[in-house]
Structure 1
């Protein structure tokens, strides 16, 4: 029997139905392999264990036959493989539980493998956005917030711009067609921010004027 941990969501990736006048422009999730490589440094882990294995075999070959020296490198290969599988498992959980959403009014991020939460970022609270584009077309779109809006880096990782701790920047990590998504965001944010905001004054203030 199938089971959906998010079946209570009225709209995929959102905790409640969209209000009148709001509609989804784009939805997506991180690429598992790209998330493992970009956020969890899978390539660096592989390179570390390869160098460690080569070093161990090279040292052993100076005082034992080569077949025995190769056997000395096997434990490092096994440990490295287990570490890589652990990273891929973590990346899979994070990617499959994350849903990024762009609407005509806000950025929404449902994130968290163990503790799920949804971040709602109105375009009026986003001061800037930065795109880190890879040659594959994947990339990370990070949102620089204005005002007093703050999020914990640990709570949002890996869905945050790396190495920015002072004021965490939530991010769409390792998404496909990142440049296209950035264009959709830019157009929607510009349209939303350019809409005049009408504020209703209290009756007492109007009377005083």
Structure 2
């Protein structure tokens, strides 16, 4: 039996899954997906780094306890207390990641990119393909990655409306992002094709060696008008 974390009662009344309304005639879904929970925790919330931090904190607590001459029982209960608070913190972060992954739906149609995001209050962002100037795709070894959308200058969105669905480090001019998606390279190709068709032009995927955007990405692709 498989668990679908994206099925929730509050979304049962959606006219179409992940969309605020039924698609108009002539528009069709090219791709639809959500962030991968494991990758989201590792890349966005740096879960491994947090585990290491709390592990070092626990080790330091035990070390200083014995160094100060405390009894083994006192050191044990002190360590249990640190471990309990650490586990609580990690559990809350994992819960936040789960809620983000389970309530987020990214949709690419032949006309636009739609992002349904938000935990308590769902928000839907519609980005017509004609509004998108370019897109960067960062792909990891296992095929997961992010797609960052560079919008035209007339479109402004506050970073706190998007986070964590925004390009890291872009605070002044936030870029909407499809975070931690599976088969990122293939999805970017679909986006390129839809973008080129909608804008009635040719487009290509360009490999660039730039690693300044996000250090965990290995390669980058950009939509460019030929």
2:170 pairs with 158, 161, 164, which one?
A: 164
Higher fraction of helix: 1
Report the TM-score when normalising by structure 2.
0.80
Which residue of structure 1 lines up, in the alignment, with residue 106 of structure 2?
100
Which residue of structure 2 lines up, in the alignment, with residue 59 of structure 1?
64
Contact kept in structure 2, 1:31 and 1:176, CA below 8 Å: yes
Which residue of structure 2 lines up, in the alignment, with residue 46 of structure 1?
51
Provide Cα deviations, 1:126-162, integer angstroms capped at 9, x if missing partner: 1111122222221111111113111111111111112
Higher fraction of strand: 2
Which residue of structure 2 lines up, in the alignment, with residue 115 of structure 1?
121
1:70, CA displacement in angstroms? 4.2
Aligned residues: 194
Moved over 6 A (4+): none
1:109, CA displacement in angstroms? 0.6
Matches for 1:21-100 after TM superposition, within 5 Å = 21-62=26-67, 63-64=69-70, 68-100=74-106
Structure 2 unaligned spans of 5+: 1-6, 202-226
Distance in 2 of aligned mates of 1:135 and 1:76: 35
Which residue of structure 1 lines up, in the alignment, with residue 15 of structure 2?
10
Report the TM-score when normalising by structure 1.
0.86
Structure 1 unaligned spans of 5+: 196-209
Which residue of structure 1 lines up, in the alignment, with residue 140 of structure 2?
134
Change (3 A) 1:136 1:126: same
